[in-house]
Amino acid sequence: MLIRHDLSRRFVVCPADYQWIDSPVAGVRRMPLDRVGAEQGRATSIVEYDAHTVFTAHEHSGGEEFFVLSGTLIDDAGHYCAGTYVRNPVGSRHTPRAGPDGARLFVKLGQSHPDDQDRKVINTTRSKWFQGLVPGLQVLPLHEHLSEHCALVRWAPHTEFSRHQHWGGEEILVLQGTFIDEHGSYPAGSWLRSPHRSIHTPYTREDGALIWVKTGHLSVGESH
């Protein structure tokens, strides 16, 4: 299965474009954002669990990374409330289930470097933010390995960032507000993936924005 797999192209998926599909487990639905391969392939998705739904035990042959958008996810190692970022390394295994309010997650599977073996659990609602590169930006670093950097970035209303190039590409999920650049306007729930050496000049208007962002992890000629 191939979904938005060409890393040399720019892709945008907005909430109006969502097309949910059922997973192999009843009570779990997926909105695929990109994919290469079948059930154990490399994939980026938004995943919804109904309340108390239990997913089958599985191994992360290429690692797993997720951010809890709403509700609570529970597994063998702990409880992860909304706003929690988790990295499970290559070869890790768990049996996830949803809490009483269900759960919605942003999930990336099979995209971890084999040398990146640190497990991380970060409750971003209790974490320290840092001043960004321009006034109006705050940054909460989540992970970095080699050229890959992942963070939450909070944009105050009417913040403008300088025009810049994405060496190794950029991927964004808009969590709150509206993220804008010269190519379009992206409300909460929008996913953007921009290729290696792409350029833009992002900004916000009156509602500001909160985004999950990853840079430096995409290469031309590689599919994921």
Residue 224: the pLDDT is: 40
Residue type (1 letter), 121: V
Residue type (1 letter), 126: R
Q: Are residues 162 and 209 in the same domain?
A: yes
Residue 40: the pLDDT is: 66
CA separation for the pair 28, 17 (Å, rounded): 19
Q: Are residues 117 and 196 in the same domain?
A: no
Point out the domain boundary residue: 98, 122, 146: 122
Q: With respect to residue 208, please indicate whether it lies within any of the assigned structural domains.
A: yes
Residue by residue, pLDDT tens for the chain (224 residues) are 899 999 999 999 999 999 999 999 999 999 999 999 776 678 999 999 999 999 999 898 889 999 999 999 999 999 999 999 999 999 899 999 999 999 999 999 988 888 888 899 999 999 999 999 999 999 999 999 999 999 999 999 999 999 999 999 999 999 999 999 999 999 999 999 999 999 999 999 999 999 999 999 997 554 44
Beta bridge partners of 209: 155, 177
Q: Are residues 186 and 211 in the same domain?
A: yes
